[in-house]
Every structure is written in C-alpha cells, then in structure tokens.
Structure 1
Amino acid sequence: MRMRLQLHVSHDYRKQLVAALDSPDMGVSGLPAVKVSQNDASFHFEIPVVRGVYDGTLNTAKTAINGSWTQNGGEQKLNFQRSDKLLELIRPQNPLKPYPYKEEEITFANATAKISLAGTLTLPPGQGPFPAAILLAGSGPNDRDESLAGHRPFLVLADHLTRKGIAVLRFDKRGIGKSTGDYANATMEDFAADAEAALAYLKTRKELDAKKIGLIGHSEGGMIAPLIAAHSGDVAWIVLLAGPGLTGEETLLLQSELILKAADVNDGQIAVAREFNKQAYALVRQEKDSAALQVKLNDLVHSSAMSASLPPEALESQVHLMATPWFRFFLDYDPRPALQKTMCPVLALNGEKDLQVSPKENLAKIQKALQDGGNKDFQTVELPGLNHLLQHAPAGLPNEYGEILETMAPDALNAISDWVLRHTTA
C-alpha cells in the first residue's frame, strides 16, 4: 500500500536541526525525530516511537531528499520533495458546508462539577419538535467529533442522523477542546454525569421532543449509556456501538489477546502479555497510592519479558494510564447490572472484525443482561466485515483505522438511523 508521508525540518533556538514526521493517511502527525543531522549532502534522522531510521541524500538544489527507510528489519526507498503546501487527509465521508440543516455551537453546565461543556448541536430543517440523540465517545481524551486516526466518526454520524430528521448533540469531554474541567482525574461516572447534564440541556430546547431524546454511545460510551438509562426516566432509547458487555478487566484481556493474534504474534508471547497484564491489574487493585503504583508497575515491566517486546514510550504510556482514576474504575466495572435495569429500547451493534470489543462475547452478555432484566424491546446486531470504528476492514487491527478511507460504513449508519426513526416516529 502506498502511503503519503510529510517531513517537517527546521532549526530550534539553538540552531540545531529538528524534525517531525506526519502520516496523513494513518491520521498520525508530529512523530518526533531524534539524531537529526546533515553532513554535506547526507541527511539522517530516526523516529524511535516506530523504530524507524532514515538515510538520504539532499540534492544540489535542496529541493529533494532521496534515500531509504529502515524499520523492523526491512528497508525501502523513501524520497521527499520540498513543498510549501501541507498534505491533506482523504476522508470522503466528511460533510462539506453549507449543510442542509442548522448547526449551533452551544455550552451547557454540569453544575455539580462546576464545569462548562462545549459542543455542537445540529437541527434538521423545519419547526420540529425533533427526536434527538446525544453522542457519547469512547475512552480517551476525545473531542466532540471523536477524532481518531484522522477520522471524525461523530461528525459523520451526526451529519447522517440530522439529514434523516434527528437532532444531534456532540460535545468535547471535560477538560478537552472548549470544555472546562479536569480530564486527567475523571472516571466513567464523571463522564456519565456530564452526559446527564447534556440530557438536561436538550430538555430545555423547544425544537426538540423531550420524550424522544436518546443516547448513542461508542465503546466506553456504550457502557455510559445504560449507566444513565438504568436510573433516568428521561432517556427514551439507547444505541450501543461496540459497547462492552464484559467487565473492564475481561474486556482488556480479551482485547489484548485478539489484537496480538491478528498481528501474528506467537502463542508464547501472547501468554507472556496476558500474565503481565494480570499481574499489573492485581497491582492496580492492591496499591492505592498512584505514585507508588507507577514505581511498582515499572518494576514489573523491567522484571518481565514485556520490556523487550514493546517500545519504552508505549510501556511508559501504559503504566501512566494504569495509575489513573479512570483505569481503576474501569478495571472492575461490570456493565451488566446497569443493563439489567435498562427498560428503554436498546440497539446494540458490533462489527464482526472488532478486536477491541469482540462481538461474540460482548453481544451475548448484553443480550442476556437485557433478557434477565425483563427488557422487552432490544436488538443485538453483528455487522459483517466491520471493525471497532464500524469501518469495513481487512483484519480489524487498530493500526488499520487511519489507512481506511471510510470513516463509518453506510451499513452501520443506516442501521442506526433506521432503528432510531422506528422508535421515535409516531
């Protein structure tokens, strides 16, 4: 597969060469380079995070560098041409303005947390009152579009739904984008409280039908939606997109195993990773002090085979994540009790090739929980060929997300809007 790369080269305040690499088609930008050097016409840099090394030759006009890229033992030609124009991502589904509907920048308050959440409300043409959806993003510091790997899934989903006559609110997580608050110390319960504040805000809008407001949650958002619906009579319906039905720990262990298998990692290494994760999770439960936990997790990394199998930056990031309040809460969270108490209509969609939230195990748990609770109106659907982002995918691996031009499969978009319209039109 041909992939576009963009190299930024400049001098820092010490007049030393600095560089960074973008991969627009992977949705990756600003990969920092080290050991950047130019010796006459020879040019060299390294990207530690991907274990890549580049050696090239600068032409006499200084308009091109021709050379080779070495990564994971393989070498291939890689040439750069000087340009003052930045490369753009190819994302065919991103809607272009002007939109055939109204778009508002709005803010609403979570008064209890004393924060302001910022988002975008899209309203279909006409007087209404319209049914409405609140989009709840997956884990991580997501903005209102759930921007990931160069894609903006919630922008595409909101556009699709609004064109179908459904108003949509999507918002930046607390502490992200234009929203205030502390993201670093927030847990899933905090994000649920923010979503309830969004629900309260939509109930004040006269263009909307307050009895037809629902939640659409992706991944972790698919855990948050039933957490709210279980106790709030204001939620008319929920849609779970790749939402887990397993506990946090079960989800993480299965996710790791499936991704490693799909990446052709041998069984021995998979077993090592599983044992490391289980020991790490035990430490998370035992050690309540975050600083001490990070020390113990780092000791575990260096005493295990994991230190040789992953780049230091990846391990450091994983250790930091495990010490956060969010991870502590997520690890032991079981979505099934909330699902058992959810009585509103439920649609649960998963992609067949989802390696992060496997459809087989998770849809079965969701279905059983809803049945056990007595929910009379629910549907679980496994969509063929789709990954965790509901894209048509080769294998479902996360590193494919940015390479795929499709942001969200039309099959998924239509399944969502058709179901919502069936449940919101009189």
Structure 2
Amino acid sequence: MVPERSTRRRLLATVAGVGSALLAGCQGDGDATTATTGTTATTETTATTTTRGPTTTGETTTEETTERTTAEQPDYEATARDLIARLDAGEWERARELVAPSVRPQLTTNQLANAWLGLVGQKGPYRGVADATREPGGVVVLSLSLDRRDHDARVTVDDGGEVIGLRFPPGEYEPPAYADRAAFSERSVTVEDDDCTLAGTLTVPTGDGPVPGVVLVHGSGAHDRNQAVGPNRPFQDLAWGLATRGVAVLRYEKENRACRMPPADQTIDEVVVDDAVAAAEVLGAAEGVRADATFVAGHSLGGAATPRILEQAPDVAGGAMLAAPSRTATTLVVEQVEHVLSLDGDLDGDDQSRLETVREEVERVEDGDVTDGELVLNYPGAWWRTLLAYDQVATARGRSRPLALFQGGRDYQVDPEADLDRWREALPAATVHEYPSLNHFLQPGQGPSTNAGYTFFDNVAEDLVDDLAAWVDRQA
C-alpha cells in the first residue's frame, strides 16, 4: 500500500542527513555543581543559623538540623564511557539500550552508526578516552583520542543514569596547511545572471602573470561560494590550494542560495549551467588571468554538468569533473538512501518502509508524474525533469576539449566503480585520477563513508589539489 502523502513526507524526513547533534539532552532536576557523583549514598549534616521572632534580648541561636540522606546518584562518567565503548564495538542496539526510554524513539541504531562511523571515518580509529570532565546539567565531556585528530563527545546523563543527550561537536574550519596565504591575493567580483547578481571571490596568485584560471561549479543544493558543509569549505580549500600552485580560481554564490528562485524555474540550466558560463566569462576577462586558459572544475552535479557547460562556453579550454556521476540522479538517490539506512548492518522493517517510499517517489519522477513546481525528495520537479533529460555521458563524448576525472574510493554518493567505469568507456582519452581514501567531498578517511561524516572538519586532500593544478598547467 502506498502511504498517504503526509505519511510519505514524515518517512522521507527521517532519511535526511544526520547532524552531529543526535539528541538535545537537557537535565531536568538537580544541580550538577552540587550533585554527588558515584553509587554510594552520602549523608551530610548542616548547621543553620536561625533568627527567632522578636525578643527583648534579640537572641540568635544556632541549631543543628536533622541528618538527611541524599538520593543515590549515578556514575555519570561511567555511563558516558560505556556508551562510547559500545559504539566503538559496533554494538548499536546495546548502545541504544543506555538511552532513556523517553528519548529512545528519537534515536535509531542507524543514526548511532551513522554518527560514530562518520567520526572515526574522518578522524581515525578510536584509541580511548584521553580526558573526562563534568559540566552542569549532567553533561560529561569526553576527549576522545583518535588516530588523526582528537575529538570531544558530549554525553548528557539524567539522574536515573540514562543517556538523554549525545553530541559530537563538529569543530571549526581551518585553512589547509598546503595553502600559502602569502602566495595569492583575493578580490570581490560579481557574476551577473539575467535576474540575479551573484557575489564571488577571485583568488589570484601573486607574482608574474597572466596565469591559467579555474571556475568552481557547485554540486546539488543551495551552496555558498565555499560550498560549505558543516565546518568544511571544500571550495575555499581548492581555491587557496590551486592559487598557491599558480592557478587563479573564481568561486561564487549559487543562484538558488543568493536569489529567490520559484521552484518551477529551477532547471539544471538555471541553477547550474548558465551561471557557470557567466562566471567563466568573468574569469577570462579578469586582470592577471589568461583568457585562453580558463577551465571549469565541477563537483558532483557540477561535474556531471561540466560537459554541458563546455557546450555552452566555447572559449573554456577544458573541464575537470570531481566526484561526477555518470548514471541518472534517480538511480543514485536510491543507492544513497539504502547505504545510509544500512550502516547499522540491518535493513529492518522501518528502514524498508523508508526505502520503499523513496523508490515510489523516484518512480513518480521517472514517469513524469510531477509538476515543475512540486518538491519531490527536496528538489523541484523542474530540476528532476531537466536533469533526467540531460545525458552527461553522451554530451561529454561529443566534446573535443580535454576532460579529467577525479574520483574518491570512499564516495557513497557516486559509485567509484559503476559511475567511473561508464566515464572510462565513454572517454578513453580523459585523464583519470583515483583516490582510494577520499569521500564525496574529497576528504581522506577510512571505513565506510557516511553523511554524518560531512559534519566533521577536514580539508580537501592535498594530493588531489596537486593533481588538479598539474592537469591545468599541462592543458594551459
């Protein structure tokens, strides 16, 4: 039976990306600054000074209160450590058993797996707890020792000894070590669309010019010029890294973020292609940039759209396709959802129901049973319609200008085998670079990639930046 539309929306909402905050825990009663930690009941005797009612002598007496026993308190830290140990062992259901029943429905085993695997995937294998501190409200902050970079876990435990909050703070952005800030300058530019002005940043190497240049083209979603995801700024990493290596870079705000776009107007050309073509014109006319050596480098959807951008921009010298899908978006979305729902090793009944709902929505899209203004799986019908009508492989095959492919081996959004094999077959002359440890956002790691992993800070891999800069130099 097909669920009602409202039920379908609720199911789809549970498939959305998991953030770093799994539960917003809040301690109700009690003051952690005075609560006794431990399993041993304590007693305390207090003296109070009492001023009796008016007397002729103004006598003030001190009297001892009766002994009172505080309630037995849980070992907050032990509970927090136990939770982390179970997560590290992959015991998702046992970890969930530590969560208070009142909040357990908000947290699935798959969400726990998503968050933990995302953390250790980006930060490295877990080695133990380096430090533990208590904060008010039953919060235990565990400093987790991880192979690549230590990270905090914030576990909130109630007075009954049950977990009511778990959060892995995402961290803050840091420029990559491979970028030399003294090697380039930046200035503001604008990219003019027919009815929208897009703010941008042009990053230009210092020293003698002119130099080759690259326009960075976003993936799907409403992105800023850095294509920021959580604390990560992959386009800033690329811009600063390439400029350090002698390549100018233009990055700009995506139109569906910068300006109001009615859903029915959000075609692939309006959202991606037209603005990239306009940005390439701005880059080619910029002081210090070679007009005959401008390139586009598209990520994800931007990579798939790169052949179409070249088709519309005859002066662009070539295109780099980063994590670019060769198969249809409807095929990819089902695979992506199934991957995320399977992270705990089990597609249970609820997971199967969610996946079936996605398949039903995909079938509607493929059958053309949606209007241009209708949102389906968070994207307008116009976006789906024009994306399915576009054959990126055939378009790329018809281009004579150089193309290069850059693909991570841990990318669950673009299959490093199925998608890359189609590109190889269609483009035997294309340069292909593979990076076994990189995820979809071109960051190094290990183990399965997860969408929660994108919420933890890291930089684009240096070897990819080196390879992209070298490819541009060879083509220029």
- Superposition TM-score, scaled by structure 1 size: 0.70
SS at match of 2:427: helix
Residue 359 of structure 1 pairs with residue 448 of structure 2 = no
**Aligned ranges 1:212-291 → 2 under 5 Å:** 212-266=293-347, 274-284=355-365, 285-289=367-371
Matched residue, 1:380? 432
- Relative distance call for 1:237 and 1:266 in structure 2 (3 A) is same
Residue 201 of structure 1 pairs with residue 318 of structure 2 = no
Residue 107 of structure 1 pairs with residue 190 of structure 2 = yes
> 1:143 touches 1:171 (CA, 8 Å); kept in 2?
yes
d(CA) in 2 for partners of 1:320, 1:79: 28
Matched residue, 2:395? 338
d(CA) in 1 for partners of 2:443, 2:105: 29
**Aligned ranges 1:385-400 → 2 under 5 Å:** 385-394=437-446, 395-400=448-453
- Relative distance call for 1:334 and 1:47 in structure 2 (3 A) is farther
> 2:319 touches 2:403 (CA, 8 Å); kept in 1?
yes
> 1:133 touches 1:169 (CA, 8 Å); kept in 2?
yes
d(CA) in 2 for partners of 1:263, 1:333: 35
- Relative distance call for 1:207 and 1:355 in structure 2 (3 A) is same
1:4-33: CA deviations, max 9, x gaps?
Answer: xxxxxxxxxxxxxxxxxxxxxx9858x995
d(CA) in 2 for partners of 1:114, 1:122: 25
| Structure 1 alignment gaps of length 5 or more | 1-25, 53-61, 81-85, 295-318
1:267-317: CA deviations, max 9, x gaps?
Answer: 8777655543332122234433468x67xxxxxxxxxxxxxxxxxxxxxxx
How far is 1:203 from its partner?
A: 2.3
Matched residue, 1:417? 469
One-letter amino acid matched to 1:368 = E
Matched residue, 1:8? none
One-letter amino acid matched to 1:200 = E
d(CA) in 1 for partners of 2:354, 2:228: 29
Residue 65 of structure 1 pairs with residue 122 of structure 2 = no
Matched residue, 1:182? 261
> 2:412 touches 2:440 (CA, 8 Å); kept in 1?
yes
d(CA) in 1 for partners of 2:179, 2:439: 25
One-letter amino acid matched to 1:287 = D
1:307-350: CA deviations, max 9, x gaps?
Answer: xxxxxxxxxxxx56144432343355431121112211111011
Q: What is the RMSD computed on CA atoms of the aligned residues?
A: 3.8
How far is 1:266 from its partner?
A: 3.2
> 1:215 touches 1:239 (CA, 8 Å); kept in 2?
yes
How far is 1:79 from its partner?
A: 10
d(CA) in 1 for partners of 2:351, 2:31: 45
SS at match of 2:386: helix
d(CA) in 1 for partners of 2:179, 2:245: 17
Q: 1:133 aligns with which of 214, 226, 237?
A: 214
- Relative distance call for 1:139 and 1:75 in structure 2 (3 A) is farther
- Superposition TM-score, scaled by structure 2 size: 0.63
SS at match of 1:65: coil
- Relative distance call for 1:49 and 1:201 in structure 2 (3 A) is farther
d(CA) in 2 for partners of 1:197, 1:28: 36
SS at match of 1:105: strand
How far is 1:160 from its partner?
A: 0.6
Matched residue, 1:401? 454
- Relative distance call for 1:320 and 1:27 in structure 2 (3 A) is closer
SS at match of 2:432: strand
Aligned length: 346
**Aligned ranges 1:78-157 → 2 under 5 Å:** 89=172, 91=174, 93=176, 99-110=182-193, 113-157=194-238
| Structure 2 alignment gaps of length 5 or more | 1-17, 34-99, 112-133, 140-154
> 1:106 touches 1:120 (CA, 8 Å); kept in 2?
yes
- Relative distance call for 1:256 and 1:342 in structure 2 (3 A) is farther
Matched residue, 1:59? none
One-letter amino acid matched to 2:186 = E
> 1:103 touches 1:123 (CA, 8 Å); kept in 2?
yes
1:167-223: CA deviations, max 9, x gaps?
Answer: 0000000142xx445275422211200111111112222321111100001101101
- Relative distance call for 1:101 and 1:353 in structure 2 (3 A) is same
One-letter amino acid matched to 2:444 = H
One-letter amino acid matched to 1:389 = F
d(CA) in 1 for partners of 2:421, 2:225: 30
> 1:131 touches 1:208 (CA, 8 Å); kept in 2?
yes
One-letter amino acid matched to 1:186 = Q
How far is 1:102 from its partner?
A: 1.4
Q: 259-268 vs 238-247, which deviates more?
A: 259-268
Q: 408-417 vs 266-275, which deviates more?
A: 266-275
- Relative distance call for 1:117 and 1:135 in structure 2 (3 A) is same
